Homo-oligomer: A and B are copies of this chain.
Amino acid sequence: MQQLIHEVFLPHLSPSGKAADHDGALLEVSRSKLAFTTDSYVVQPYFFPGGDIGSLAVFGTINDLAMCGAQPLYLSAGFILEEGFPIGDLQRILQSMEKVLSECNVTIVTGDTKVVDRGKGDGIYINTAGIGIREHDQTWNPRQIKPGDAILISGDIGRHGIAVMSVRHGLEFETEIKSDAASLWNPVSALLAAGIEAHCLRDLTRGGLSSAVNEIAQASGLTIHLEEKHIPVREDVVAACEMLGYDPLYVACEGRFLAFLPAEQVEDALRVLRNHPTTSNAAVIGEALSGRPGRVTLLNTIGVERILDMLSGEQLPRIC
Contacts and interface: CB of A to CB of B under 8 A. Distances in A.
A32 B23 CA distance: 19
A23 B39 CA distance: 9
Given A26-B68, A39-B78, A318 B116 contact: yes
A27 B22 contact: no
Contacts of A25: 35-37
Given A67-B23, A78-B127, A80-B80, A31 B34 contact: no
B78 A24 contact: no
A16 interface: no
Contacts of A27: 33-36
Contacts of A34: 26-29, 131
Given A42-B80, A117-B317, A318-B116, A23 B37 contact: yes
A163 to B, nearest CB: 19
Given A110-B129, A117-B317, 20 more contacts: A1-B206, A2-B310, A20-B219, A23-B37, A23-B64, A23-B68, A24-B68, A24-B132, A25-B36, A32-B32, A36-B131, A37-B110, A38-B110, A40-B80, A40-B114, A76-B129, A78-B129, A121-B121, A125-B125, A131-B131
